[in-house]
Amino acid sequence: MSPEGVTIIIDSAGGWTTERIYQLLVENAVDLDVVGPTLTIKVQDKDLSSTASGASSSGGVYTSFSAIIYLKGNDPGFIAGPDSMIAHEYGHAWSRYHLYMTQQNDWSAYLDFRGLSGDSRLDTTYPWSRGEIIAEDYRLLFSSPTALDQWPGQMNSDIPDARDVPGLADFLQNVWGG
């Protein structure tokens, strides 16, 4: 367990260590002291890299959250670009944490700011998934220089690059992230 409360589990033949995964996480994680206690990272060789999360509510208010980042330790994409993969997957955990705990499962402020409210393409394909868009925004705005070198582009090329949207980083940190 990390000092922030992240549980890291290594079950991979890929040569990954807890220390290396933690180093990659620290270099690419905003609000790790907030999100960390709710986060588990599992480096394994079976499932593709992804992030699963859940939240529970009481009286109509979200009160708890948890996320698991799965990293496929023997995947050539992860081996070649571990910073970018961790930044993107942590972007899912971070954005979902704030979706539930800060925004109470309300996407409207983000979609309005990003200019996507009412766009008929939203949630029609993988690159148009609101979860993928915000994870990419996170990666492009908050990841390490190494992560950006490993994956400089944006998944959805039909929308403005997050780095070209004035005030988006500030919005994500101070409004979305509370």
pLDDT tens, position by position, 4-27: 999 999 999 999 999 999 999 999
User: What pLDDT was estimated at residue 178?
Assistant: 87
% residues pLDDT > 90 (the chain): 98
User: What pLDDT was estimated at residue 146?
Assistant: 97
pLDDT tens, position by position, 137-152: 999 999 999 999 999 9
Long-range contacts of 43-46 (CB under 8 A, 24+ apart): 43/8, 43/9, 43/10, 43/11, 43/12, 43/14, 43/16, 43/71, 43/73, 44/9, 44/11, 44/12, 44/70, 44/71, 44/72, 44/73, 45/11, 45/12, 45/13, 45/14, 45/72, 45/73, 45/74, 46/72
pLDDT at 170 over 90: yes
User: What pLDDT was estimated at residue 166?
Assistant: 98
